[in-house]
Amino acid sequence: MAVRVGVIGTGVMGADHVRILGSMVSRATVSAVTDLDLGRAREVARRVGARVIDTPDALIEDADVDAVLVASSDRTHEGFVLACLDADKPVLCEKPLTPTPEAALRIVGREVDRGRRTVSVGFMRRYDPGFVAVKQALTDGAIAEPLMIHCVHRNASSRPNAPTAGLIHGSAVHEIDATRWLLGEEIARVTVHRGRRSSRVVGETADPLLCVFETESGVVVDVEVFVNAQYGYEVRCEVVGETGTVMVDEPPQAVLRSAQRRTTSVAYDWRDRFAEAYRRELQDWIDGIVAGDPQRGASAWDGYAATAVAAAGVEALATGAIVEVKLESRPALYG
């Protein structure tokens, strides 16, 4: 029997998840959607034959909703995820889990009280074939011990006056999670440098930024975050080890040779670059629910840890200091 998914939020990401669930994921249907903009919800629902429910709370409680995907604005995540925990329904929440570590800890606390993991966080890079292959190479010891990681995270453009903190909470948070996941250790301290600002930025956003993380074992990770890079979307990640390096490759694509040029295209945005990762993430989540093992990919604890590092990054950006990351102790529920 198919898992009936209810989707909260039908903006860019919610609509894309509905499309993928409705067309590329087996044993899943989208039974209901909701959005503050009910007109937008109706349009997205129509494409997959889902119902529109007026409010998120009613959607979470609905008898035809077995599991919930939260893709609404970041500040609403906490309330909806807590309501899913109370309703005993598996939930996949888009990243970041919450805007503050305190809010994420409340989710962790509620899940620990229930004694069962049912909250997953949408850090989709954990499902990208390139990132998965890098993780495998590290596990196999292919480059011996990792020493440094170099990352690039570029978007074509951001909205005018996007808050600079959003470059850390919304974008670099992916490198934070990828670092923790690839290395299997926590990030201990953070610095953030703002350099010369691009004249192409509309508004006050400080862009680009360079974030530097240092892990517990001393691996240094540099991340260029540039959300107005103009030319397209690009993510790079290279781990430097004692005997070699391993780098994330992009999905295969055509190489065009014409008019004395050899060209390949650059992705338009993350939905394009990480299309396969999103499909695998959703399939794994559904497979987990079917198998009675509903927490897959990043957990609520991972969501908390990532948000705590991002918050340290925002403090580092404001103060120019090296900021230590102070995590609560990890509950046994998270292994």
Is residue 295 at the binding interface for ligand ISE, with CB under 6 A as the rule? no
Give the whole-angstrom CA distance, residue 222 versus residue 212: 5
Is residue 174 at the binding interface for ligand ISE, with CB under 6 A as the rule? yes
Q: Which residues have C-beta within 8 Å of that of residue 79, sequence separation ≥ 6? A: none
Among residues 52, 47, 67, the alpha carbon closest in space to that of 9 is found at 52
Q: Which of 118, 155, 179, 191 binds ligand ISE (CB under 6 A)?
A: 155
Is residue 171 at the binding interface for ligand ISE, with CB under 6 A as the rule? yes
The region of 42-50, 76-84, 170-178, 191-199 touching ligand ISE under the rule CB under 6 A is 170-178
Contact assessment for residue 214 and residue 189, using Cβ atoms and an 8 Å cutoff:
yes
Q: Which of 6, 14, 22, 170 binds ligand ISE (CB under 6 A)?
A: 170
How many residues of this chain bind ligand ISE (CB under 6 A)? 6
Max Cα separation, the chain? 64
Is residue 270 at the binding interface for ligand ISE, with CB under 6 A as the rule? yes
Is residue 299 at the binding interface for ligand ISE, with CB under 6 A as the rule? no
Please state the closest distance from residue 126 (CB atom) to ligand ISE, in A: 12
Please state the closest distance from residue 1 (CB atom) to ligand ISE, in A: 32
Please state the closest distance from residue 146 (CB atom) to ligand ISE, in A: 23
The region of 40-48, 166-174, 178-186, 322-330 touching ligand ISE under the rule CB under 6 A is 166-174
Is residue 131 at the binding interface for ligand ISE, with CB under 6 A as the rule? no
- Minimum CB distance to ligand ISE smaller for 155 or for 164: 155
Please state the closest distance from residue 69 (CB atom) to ligand ISE, in A: 15
Looking at beta carbons, which residue is closest to ligand ISE? 171
Give the whole-angstrom CA distance, residue 324 versus residue 308: 10
Is residue 205 at the binding interface for ligand ISE, with CB under 6 A as the rule? no
Binding site residues, ligand ISE, CB under 6 A? 155, 170-171, 174, 227, 270
